[in-house]
A and B are shown apart, each in its own frame.
Chain A
């Protein structure tokens, strides 16, 4: 008997998860959504395995408030670890229910029966019964009890095998799979004219100038301080609406817009802001005579920089609002829309449609709110809103800059005996669910602003995610300084605070190793107690042919970084080899990961590798630029990301695991990769840079000051 947990406890009715719509066919339902991570392919593998049906029989419905279970957000590397585990148990319950009915009907013991591709066999012989012959007599409204035993992992045939991604063929043939490609009969294009800041009010609108720029029939729709350009009818093409929206940037003036101090784009400006403080961990023991060491690391504000701007469709008809969105959580978005638009949630349907990779809370929810607000103003007309590129860069919530100061008291062997991480950061949690939708802030009665908060520690923490080193250190604590007032809106980006924290911890560990005169790998192995941590470190060092004692300052360097994401998801260790002079050239990256039970190994490797490349881009290239008007980096030239020629070859290995629970991989490699690059650059240059990104200016300044 397994206690039901998570989404299955909240939605125990089996028909919320599994259906048999027609002979030979199975439907599974999941609240998790495809965001390019291959989650639905892996869900299908889990269901096929536990139901004992061929994967090809299974169709998947995902992320629809009218159909699927509410599983919150598809985020935090939790989809397989929690959503997959819920679906797996639901499938086990369904199989057990059918076996028990079949046993009754056949007058035999359940233990004599097995399922092979949906057919019921008795002692290996066909019984003529299958899921579909039995389905009409069995109510799947029955609730999961936790009594059904899952198949032992040793018998798995589908789980653990590489499965081709279900969504990829359509993308390779250019099929219209994205919400951007959707059209509805009678649909018109629309764009919001963005309120520059919360609280700003419209001072003037030069309607004639906007209409002139449109060169087509557009309407200017106003609701409070929410302003939008809407195609007057179907003949208004997107170009006209777009041109009018661009013109509106100049021809609408706003009052109540305080200029931002551009110095606040720098992470260290967080240290001058008011903070809300707390300490978690034991009080620091006074250790007279101990050696103390301290270093401060930082990272700039980062954008999600999705490959395409956000898009959504909405229609308000007969009192019912339907929204098509690529947001990560259809149910939280529905709740936020209900609050902002003063509708009953039961009068709102939110449906997920694929979009460009988001890596967290980008503009997707806000674009959906724009479409919904405009649709409410135009009942009966389907509205399509696609943000402009500059709008996505400038108005999506970004990841807060962070400063992490690490202090350690060292024992006689130069190893940490007492550890403090002191963290300054804005919030990493401003997802919708409680009304935080950009367009709603401009409505006549905007929802109240949030009280300052961050992701609770029980949920993995936001700024303090991975703030505690995974090494055996007698006393560890963190001090969290939450900065409520950031110059721009901040929210969740892949890994939240984990990347800056792991960067700081793992760079600091290298600094301690150097002071102790020890090799970074040997030093880590000496202070790591968890065998799985030791396992990934040892494996990645072997993969990379790690040699101790290579001289530093030669222009060529290698570095290591390791973490267990969120202290509860996958373990990953990364080694990076690079060349550094005025610029940094990545030569090769290796990763060893322990991801527990791996459903689709190729899918997991794709995620781990993608995380490494994205982290390399963050570390080498990325920072949001802020001027007095807000975010100033509004295109790919001012917000550059890593290009193909800059990406090194990568080898990823998954360690075998006895675990029967998958450990999330999507965010596991970002911190270790950032740290490995930081350590490799320090090794190559013979001098350390503690502030990200590792720009040419910082490299030059470091080289000059170390001469």
Chain B
């Protein structure tokens, strides 16, 4: 069975899979037990499975594991913890930005990718960056406000 080395949330891992085209999402969830990255469609259409690969937001549900070998993957678990939340996570809670919450892992990752390259995005720029993610409950405006707030928090440094 093929084996691949990669970095996940800053940790070097080696995974053995049944086939080299198993999707990254399956590896994260089943082999590594990182259940924060959600399955939404398997078609790269909804953004629930968004992760950072070498800093770029990528859908993981149909991305073969062989293409991720040697790369660095960040999932929602890599953003922060309840004890040390990422500014985005703090802002999402402050703004109560979510309903069912199934889309949030992917949205947080897309938002992190945006803030990493543009620390002062406009509402329109945030919306455009999140167009790869579907929110079905209608929490869009809260989510946009939360990303704006996180940007401000991040610029102001960690209080």
Please give the residue numbers on chain A whose beta carbons come within 8 Å of chain B beta carbons, in ascending order: 35-38, 164-165, 167-169, 171-178, 180-181, 215-216, 237-240, 242, 305-309, 354-357, 359, 386, 388-389, 602-603, 606-607, 609-614, 617, 635-637, 641-645, 647, 649-650
Given A644-B140, A647-B141, residue A635 in contact with residue B45 (CB < 8 A): yes
* A530 CB, min distance to chain B CBs, angstroms: 27
Contact status A168-B82, CB under 8 Å:
no
Decide yes or no: A172 and B89 within 8 Å by CB, A606-B139, A606-B142 being known contacts: yes
B100 touches which of A307, A609, A650 (Cβ 8 Å): A307
Which residues from chain B sit less than 8 Å from chain A, CB to CB? Answer: 18-19, 22-23, 26, 30, 34-43, 45-46, 48, 75-77, 80-82, 85, 89, 92-93, 96, 98-105, 108, 124, 126-128, 130-131, 133-144
B35 touches A307 (CB 8 A): no
Contact sample, A vs B, 9 pairs, CB 8 Å cutoff? A38-B99, A164-B93, A171-B98, A171-B101, A173-B82, A175-B35, A307-B100, A613-B141, A645-B128
How far in angstroms is the closest Cβ of chain B from A255? 30
Q: Are A612 and B138 in contact (CB under 8 A)?
A: yes
Question: Which residues of chain A are near B101, meaning CB under 8 Å?
Answer: 36, 167-168, 171-172, 177
Q: Do the beta carbons of B137 and A36 come within 8 Å of each other? A: yes
Residues in A neighbouring B42, C-beta threshold 8 A: 242, 388-389
Query: Given that A307-B40, A636-B41 are known contacts, is A645 also in contact with B127, CB under 8 Å in the complex?
Result: yes
Q: Are B136's CB and A169's CB within 8 A?
A: no
Q: Evaluate contact between B76 and A389: CB separation under 8 angstroms.
A: no
Residue of B at shortest CB range from A392? B41
Pairwise interchain contact B99-A169, C-beta atoms closer than 8 A: no
Q: Closest residue of chain B to A182, judged by CB?
A: B35
Closest to A652 in B: B141
A38 to B97, CA, bound (A): 12
| Contacts beyond the supplied A172-B85, A173-B76: 12 A-B pairs with Cβ under 8 Å | A36-B101, A168-B98, A174-B36, A174-B105, A237-B30, A238-B26, A308-B39, A355-B102, A610-B137, A636-B45, A643-B134, A647-B138
A180 to B39, CA, bound (A): 8
Q: Is the CB of B103 within 8 A of A643?
A: no
A258 CA to B41 CA, complexed, in Å: 29
Instruction: Select one of B36, B48, B100 contacting A357, CB under 8 A.
Output: B100
- CB-CB < 8 A to A239: which residues of B? 18-19, 22-23, 26
Select one of A165, A237, A305, A355 contacting B18, CB under 8 A.
A237
Report yes or no: B36 in contact with A175, Cβ–Cβ below 8 A. Answer: yes
Contact residues in B for A607 (Cβ distance below 8 Å): 99
Q: A650 vs B143: C-alpha distance in the bound complex, in angstroms?
A: 13
B-chain residues with CB within 8 Å of residue A359 when the two chains form the complex:
136
Across-interface contacts of B93 in A (CB, < 8 A): 164, 168-169, 172
